[in-house]
């Protein structure tokens, strides 16, 4: 499917699973929507933590159309959305049109699913795709740079990589800084506060073979983790692993 065809299925409620492996070669994004009173501060916070929260587009209040995918609708074209109130997920929906408020500002944030096609092209397999699972994601003890009341810890995603391919994985992903870039940690999960790599906080556990090392990349679920810890009164995010698939090619963001 093309991204447009996939988004049409999503909008019709016919596709509501994780988007890793879908539309290879196209940029996928995380999403967070915040009331106007928090939006500018969040934008500064994201800029101060650009590896974890690389903002690709800001959709200003009162608008739902998307430059990254003309004709798409931010309210209907993500497979699953989380509604957060006072930091708690209170609902998970396929369509958030009835939650739309005139003062909401939407942020599209680079996602590591965007460089997965490049990894596969370089002979680096994706275990979560092979096992038909959502990617493994974990809360960490990595402190983010605080900005005007926004603060918290980074969330990371994990992919097992064969030992002889670890350097290749680091180099390949380093060329995509707008979608998190190179890993933040290689092989030592306990150093970033992950006590059991087999028990992710989001997504699914995947098998790690004896000849593989777990690599950890910053993850776009980080804003949801921050919003939850700050107990902000209202926010909308994508459900972890369920991304917005844009019309932009990964080559458009290759550096």
Look up the pTM and report it: 0.96
| Pairwise CA distance, residues 15 & 1, whole Å | 12
Low-confidence ranges of the chain (pLDDT < 70): none
Residues 119 and 157 sit within 8 Å (Cβ to Cβ): no
> Looking at domain 116-218, does it have CATH number 2.40.480.10?
no
Q: Is 175 helix (H, G, I), strand (E, B) or coil?
A: coil
| Pairwise CA distance, residues 151 & 230, whole Å | 8
- The pLDDT of residue 202 is 97
- The pLDDT of residue 176 is 98
Give, to the nearest 10 degrees, the angle between helix 222-230 and helix 36-48: 130
The CATH number given to 3-112+229-253 is: 3.40.1640.10
| Pairwise CA distance, residues 19 & 173, whole Å | 19
- The pLDDT of residue 67 is 96
| Pairwise CA distance, residues 135 & 39, whole Å | 28
Residues 163-202: b if buried by 16+ CB within 10 A, e if exposed:
eebbeebeebbeebbbbbbbbbbbeebeebebeebeebeb
Residues 19 and 242 sit within 8 Å (Cβ to Cβ): yes
Would you list the domain boundaries of the chain? Answer: 3-112+229-253, 116-218
Each residue of 13-43: pLDDT tens digit? 999 999 999 999 999 999 999 999 999 999 9
Each residue of 72-103: pLDDT tens digit? 999 999 999 999 999 999 999 999 999 988 89
């Amino acid at each position: 499917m093309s991204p447009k065809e996939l988004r049409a299925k999503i909008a019709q409620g016919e596709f509501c699973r994780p988007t890793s492996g879908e539309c290879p070669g196209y940029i996928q994004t995380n999403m967070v929507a915040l009331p106007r009173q928090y939006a500018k501060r969040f934008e500064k916070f994201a800029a101060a933590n650009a590896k974890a929260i690389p903002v690709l587009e800001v959709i200003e209040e009162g608008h739902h159309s998307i430059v990254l995918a003309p004709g798409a609708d931010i309210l209907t074209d993500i497979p699953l959305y989380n509604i957060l109130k006072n930091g708690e997920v209170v609902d998970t929906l396929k369509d958030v049109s009835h939650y739309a408020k005139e003062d909401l500002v939407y942020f599209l944030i680079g996602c590591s699913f965007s460089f997965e096609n490049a990894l596969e092209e370089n002979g680096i397999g994706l275990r979560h795709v092979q096992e038909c699972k959502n990617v493994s994601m974990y809360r960490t003890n990595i402190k983010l740079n605080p900005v005007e009341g926004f603060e918290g810890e980074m969330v990371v995603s994990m992919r097992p990589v064969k030992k002889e391919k670890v350097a290749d994985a680091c180099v390949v992903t380093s060329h995509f800084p707008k979608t998190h870039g190179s890993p933040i940690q290689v092989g030592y999960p306990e150093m970033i506060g992950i006590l059991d790599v087999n028990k992710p906080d989001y997504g699914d556990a995947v098998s790690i073979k004896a000849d593989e090392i777990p690599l950890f990349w910053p993850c776009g679920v980080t804003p949801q983790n921050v919003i939850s810890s700050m107990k902000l009164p209202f926010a909308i995010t994508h459900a972890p692993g369920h991304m917005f698939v844009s019309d932009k090619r990964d080559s458009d963001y290759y550096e």
